[in-house]
Amino acid sequence: MSHSPILGRGKWEAYDFGHVFTACSRVKTVVTTPIHIENPERWRPNLNGVLGAIFILACMNPWTSFGTNSMDSQPWPLLTGLVFLGSTRFVRAPPYIGPLSISITAGLIISIALSVNPTLTEILRAIAGYSTLIVVYFAFYNYLLRFGFPSSLLFFSAVSWLVFAFVEMVSPSIISMFAAQRTSVGRGLTSLAPEPTFFAIFLLFLSWIIFVGRNYQPSRREVFLIAANLLAIFLLARSTMVIVYIAVAAVIYSGFFVIKSIGSLRMRGSHIFAVMFALISMPFAKLLIEAFLEDTRTGRLMSTLSQKGLLAIISSDASIINRIEGSVLSIHAALYNKLIPGGLDTYLTTKELVRPFWGKIFWYPTVSNKILSWNGVLLYELGVFGLMAFVWLVLAAVRKGSASGAEIVIFAMFAMGAIPMAFPLIPMLFAVWAYNGKRMSA
């Protein structure tokens, strides 16, 4: 008879099974006895960190629906931000969050009241968009205070966007499973965004956040990542508007540094580098476009720009004229209303009132109440309250010298573009600036 390793060395017929029953009863007692955690608060930071990571990943996918709905901007950054804040035991108010929230709330209430016949969808979209601005700014600031800058998460997110862009080159149908797409043959790739311009805008702001979050001293791998993002804007997204933004931003940044250096009668090495980078990058970008994008829409537009000037592009490209119209006419319409909140469904009417002032410049009009400008939405819908909200954000950014004047001017230019109010990377950028300001004062 073989011996049983469980029952012992005795023979089966002679073994006392009482020991087995006793052991089984003890196991049952251990299994059925509930686990007692002496200090439940020790588990909270881990859960809070996981929820914070989920919140950041949601912000990194602002248009990814996973097939659940057909909307462009998704509610996940807003919802996960609220969950993260709810799981945080002690939340800290970021700079000017009170005045910012009051300005937006008051302006939105008045704007809804002054609307003619707003639909429930328009009201909910406006509430969600402005709430995303407040909640993401609040939540990401608290994440930074508790866990520091999430460089690895942002690096992973940027790489995943680039990977999905290459997947789109092979099989565009796969990307349509994650986000709604609006593109056509001859335009750039969209990756996880609805259209190429949004893809380029995402890469641009994500690179900016990484640069600022690392206190303007990114690691070597982050330098390569930012360079890859810029190349993707040129070669994959091929967004003419964002390429123009980058060129103008380089000029503005260099100009500010030169003026500052002359005013202080000294030229720092970083200033010289910025000027040289701007002078070299623009002709390099031109050569890059001519070499790889000659037969694309972006290549043709850049060729027209260099040969005939900006007015030739404005007079021939409907997409660009629509973008410029959204930026210019929304601001003009807000001033026409004397910065009184304009309502959620009145933009089309007011836009037609101010259009004659511009003659035939905006020759391809859009018949829609949708404003294709982040700043335009803020100023037209909220009026003076939107202007106040923008001022509060700027004050939070420049606090303790965190953001420079050049960066604020560049941001204001970028925000004139077709960026939805619910775009979470804008409040994330301001949260990083506010966080850096707090660290400087510590």
Give the tens place of pLDDT for each residue, 115-128: 999 999 999 999 99
**What's the half-sphere exposure (Cβ side, CA atoms, 13 Å) at 197?**
18
pTM: 0.82
Instruction: Give residue 308's pLDDT band: very low, low, confident or very high (50, 70, 90).
Output: low
Same domain, residue pair 186 and 259: yes
Same domain, residue pair 29 and 46: no
Same domain, residue pair 131 and 32: no
Same domain, residue pair 16 and 106: no
* pLDDT for position 341: 97
Same domain, residue pair 13 and 124: no
Q: Is the pLDDT of residue 90 over 60?
A: yes
Q: What count of other Cβ atoms lies within 10 Å of the Cβ of residue 36?
A: 5
Identity (one letter) of the amino acid at 379? L
Q: What count of other Cβ atoms lies within 10 Å of the Cβ of residue 28?
A: 10
User: Going by C-beta distance under 8 Å and a sequence separation of 6 or more, which residues neighbour residue 149?
Assistant: 213, 214, 432, 435
Identity (one letter) of the amino acid at 392? W
Parent domain of 23: 1-36
The helix (H) or strand (E) run that includes residue 399 is none
Same domain, residue pair 197 and 106: yes
Same domain, residue pair 91 and 155: yes
Same domain, residue pair 19 and 126: no
Same domain, residue pair 7 and 122: no
**What's the half-sphere exposure (Cβ side, CA atoms, 13 Å) at 39?**
3
User: Going by C-beta distance under 8 Å and a sequence separation of 6 or more, which residues neighbour residue 244?
Assistant: none
Same domain, residue pair 200 and 269: yes
Mean pLDDT of the chain: 82
What b-and-e string marks burial along 63-75, b requiring 16 or more CB atoms within 10 Å of the CB? bbbeeeeeebbbb
Same domain, residue pair 74 and 27: no
Condensed to tens digits (0 to 9), the pLDDT of residues 116-160 reads 999 999 999 999 999 999 999 999 999 999 999 999 999 999 999
Residues in the chain: 442
Better-scored residue on pLDDT, 367 or 50? 50
Overall domain count for the chain: 2
Same domain, residue pair 25 and 49: no
